[in-house]
């Protein structure tokens, strides 16, 4: 029964399709479609090739997601850069347009008309104006034989809509194709009322589907056996120096790679790995602590605090801290408040003449994900990269939109934002082709600037820049602090490290000196911890100014004199100091 319901759900979902299309038309006259000025940037390396009859072999040149329909009357135009195929567009000399599956729908174009479709540009050649050149060259061919040219574009593809209008096409009508099982509906959306009615019908269909889906989802997720929670114990040691540092790392899944890299900058190896029930955690800690230098437990803060709050000399380090600007008044005041570094960012924006575009187009989100977000995360973070799924980013996108940074007609960087009642949340960002060198040219700082400007234009008072790691030397945390943000502990992202020093060794001292961190004390307060030795303690004021972050209640300065018993502490109340 359960399998039947699951199959029924998949069958209904797979057989429901909605496409919203815009029909464009252009009258072909003796206009001069000159592309000499546009092609000058390619220095003669660009060429066009026209095929009166397209073949399936032409499609093999390109990595199409959805292959265009090719018939006996289909022609093709290919653009090459240095003899390498860079893009293509297809031309149909037929009074009927046949849309591909699952719709099997025909549109009558009328006599003396041609249809342009299947435009595609290879990824590495995108953003250089080749799509516009292909349209122009194709129209040159068509105007010799036809009076009209037609094109169909998905309504939510803002890039394609802007492109087809740039080359002179005019919008005729828009309509939606709806297919539910074997029922097909063609619904016009040429005015506000028709569009509203379509949106209402889609909303109603979603509600009905969710009502039907609920019992199926319950059956899918129902489990007769509840698994008992488990922990892993990993004994980590330095891979290059024998016995310099040994860590017992307790976690539920895998160790946090960034923390492991901080403890072992030259690499580590796993000496031992065991899995046990959560109820045996204290037992395993007692069995292990005498043979290691450092104990670390990664878990939810509430569970850790409840379990170990009475344990001596433990530190609760948040895995992530939230950074928000809660007092945004004007962009100008923000720059005046934080001095020269933001002025440098602003000068880069003016120097490279960056502009921004706000979009809610799903196709633009796909472009951002594949050409900006994924390459940037891989190039910037390497093995530490956590790449979110497209569907997860799309959920954030639906609550807000997408900001693109442009230099001329070229997209440089982009970021996804969420909008809520009184604020704006920055969730994901990326750079074109993951080119990290663009950071020094202001590709990311311009994103922050225009995001704050957008918040000001919409009279929003809160800008949420998202999470940073709970270490005071973290580059992202310090950069976000420039934008007048305050750090706080987010209960929804409450993963925390419990840290306990068992054996104070030179390796432990080195780890503490390299990694100033934030701790949670008294369940709410955030305290910064800076560790210095005898030499650096004389310059403690420089370290205080360097690592002081708005939102910290206190700053603890610890001077390590060589052993755990010979340390001096100084606690600075930042709230009193700020007053």
Q: Which of 96-105, 141-150, 388-397 has the lowest mean pLDDT?
A: 96-105
Residue 285 phi/psi, 5° resolution? -65, -45
pTM check: above 0.75:
no
Cα–Cα distance between 122 and 120 in angstroms, integer?
7
Rounded to 10 deg, the angle between the 340-351 and 445-457 helix axes is 90
Element (H, E) at 98: strand 96-98
Burial of 498 per CB tally in 10 Å (0-12, 13-18, 19+): buried
Q: What does the pLDDT read at residue 90?
A: 87
Cα–Cα distance between 254 and 365 in angstroms, integer?
31
Cα–Cα distance between 526 and 321 in angstroms, integer?
10
Q: What does the pLDDT read at residue 513?
A: 92
Q: What does the pLDDT read at residue 406?
A: 92
Cα–Cα distance between 289 and 268 in angstroms, integer?
19
Which is higher by pLDDT, 107 or 408?
Answer: 408
Q: Which residues contact 227 (CB under 8 A, 6 or more apart)?
A: none
Between CA 481 and CA 489, with CA 484 as vertex, the angle to 5 degrees is 60
Query: DSSP secondary-structure letter at 548?
Result: -
Contact present, 219 and 7 (Cβ < 8 Å): no
CA distance readout (Å), 490 to 301, 318, 494: 11, 9, 6
Cα–Cα distance between 463 and 426 in angstroms, integer?
8
For residues 286-297, one letter each, b for 16 or more C-beta atoms within 10 angstroms of the residue's C-beta and e for the rest, the string is eebeeebbbbbb
For a pLDDT cut of 90, what percent of the chain falls above it? 23
Residue spans of the domains in the chain: they are: 2-216, 230-321+490-578, 328-460
Q: How confident is the model at residue 472 (pLDDT cuts 50, 70, 90)?
A: very high
Element (H, E) at 476: helix 475-481
Q: What does the pLDDT read at residue 222?
A: 57
Mean pLDDT of 279-293: 91
pLDDT tens digits along 524-570: 889 999 999 888 888 888 999 889 898 999 999 999 875 544 567 77
For a pLDDT cut of 70, what percent of the chain falls above it? 82
Q: What does the pLDDT read at residue 44?
A: 66
CA 86 to chain CA centroid, Å, is 27
Cα–Cα distance between 49 and 87 in angstroms, integer?
11
Which is higher by pLDDT, 132 or 70?
Answer: 132
Cα–Cα distance between 354 and 443 in angstroms, integer?
9
Whether 2 shows a pLDDT value over 60: the answer reads no
CA distance readout (Å), 548 to 273, 341, 528: 38, 16, 8
Cα–Cα distance between 64 and 83 in angstroms, integer?
20
Nearest Cα to Cα of residue 428 among 386, 461, 457: 386
Do 2-216 and 328-460 fold alike per CATH?
A: yes
- 2-216 architecture in CATH? 3-Layer(aba) Sandwich (3.40)
Task: Answer whether CATH 1.10.150 is correct for domain 328-460.
Answer: no
């Amino acid at each position: 029964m359960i399998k039947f319901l699951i199959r029924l759900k998949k069958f209904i979902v797979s057989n429901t399709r909605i496409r919203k299309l815009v029909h464009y038309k252009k009258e072909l006259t003796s206009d001069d479609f000159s592309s000499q000025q546009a092609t000058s940037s390619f220095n003669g390396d660009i060429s066009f090739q026209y095929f009166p009859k397209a073949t399936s072999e032409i499609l093999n040149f390109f990595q199409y997601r959805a292959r265009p329909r090719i018939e006996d009357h289909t022609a093709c135009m290919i653009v090459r850069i240095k003899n390498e195929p860079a893009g293509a567009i297809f031309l149909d000399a037929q009074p009927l347009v046949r849309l591909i599956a699952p719709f099997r729908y025909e549109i009558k174009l009328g006599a003396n008309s041609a249809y342009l479709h299947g435009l595609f540009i290879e990824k590495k050649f995108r953003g250089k104006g080749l799509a516009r050149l292909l349209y122009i060259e194709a129209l040159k061919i068509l105007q010799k034989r036809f009076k009209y040219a037609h094109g169909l574009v998905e309504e939510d593809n803002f890039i394609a809509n802007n492109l087809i209008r740039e080359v002179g096409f005019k919008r005729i009508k828009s309509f939606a194709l709806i297919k539910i099982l074997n029922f097909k509906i063609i619904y016009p959306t040429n005015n506000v009322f028709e569009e509203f009615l379509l949106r209402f019908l889609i909303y109603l269909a979603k509600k009905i589907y969710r009502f039907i889906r609920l019992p199926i989802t319950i059956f899918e997720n129902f489990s007769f056996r509840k698994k008992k929670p488990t922990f892993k114990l990993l004994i980590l040691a330095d891979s290059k120096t024998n016995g310099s540092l040994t860590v017992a790392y307790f976690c539920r899944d895998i160790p946090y790679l960034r923390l492991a890299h901080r403890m072992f900058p030259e690499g580590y190896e796993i000496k031992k790995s065991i899995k046990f029930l959560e109820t045996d955690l204290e037992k395993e800690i007692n069995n292990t602590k005498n043979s290691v230098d450092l104990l670390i437990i990664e878990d939810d803060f509430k569970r850790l605090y409840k379990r170990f709050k009475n344990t001596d000399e433990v530190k609760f380090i948040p895995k992530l801290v939230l950074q928000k600007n809660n007092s945004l008044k004007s962009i100008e005041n923000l720059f005046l408040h934080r001095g020269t570094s933001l002025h440098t960012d602003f000068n880069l924006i003016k120097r490279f003449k960056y502009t921004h575009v706000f979009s809610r187009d799903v196709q633009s989100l796909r472009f951002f994900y594949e050409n900006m977000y994924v390459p940037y995360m891989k190039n910037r973070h390497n093995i530490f990269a956590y790449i979110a799924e497209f569907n997860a980013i799309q959920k954030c996108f639906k609550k807000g939109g997408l900001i693109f940074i442009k230099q001329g007609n070229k997209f440089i960087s982009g970021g996804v934002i969420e909008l809520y009642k009184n604020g704006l949340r920055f969730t994901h960002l990326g750079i074109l082709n993951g080119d990290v060198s663009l950071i020094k040219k202001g590709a990311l700082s311009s994103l922050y600037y225009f995001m704050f400007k957008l918040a000001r234009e919409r009279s929003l008072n809160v800008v949420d820049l998202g999470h940073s790691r709970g270490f005071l030397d973290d580059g992202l945390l310090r950069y976000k602090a420039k934008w007048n943000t305050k750090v706080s502990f987010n209960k929804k992202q409450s993963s925390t490290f419990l840290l306990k020093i068992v054996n104070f060794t030179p390796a432990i001292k080195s780890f503490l000196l390299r990694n100033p961190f934030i701790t949670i004390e008294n369940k709410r307060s955030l305290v910064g911890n800076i560790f210095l030795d005898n030499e650096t303690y004389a310059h403690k004021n420089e370290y205080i100014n360097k690592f002081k972050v708005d939102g910290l209640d206190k700053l603890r300065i610890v001077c390590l004199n060589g052993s755990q018993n010979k340390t001096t502490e100084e606690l600075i109340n930042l709230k009193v100091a700020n007053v």
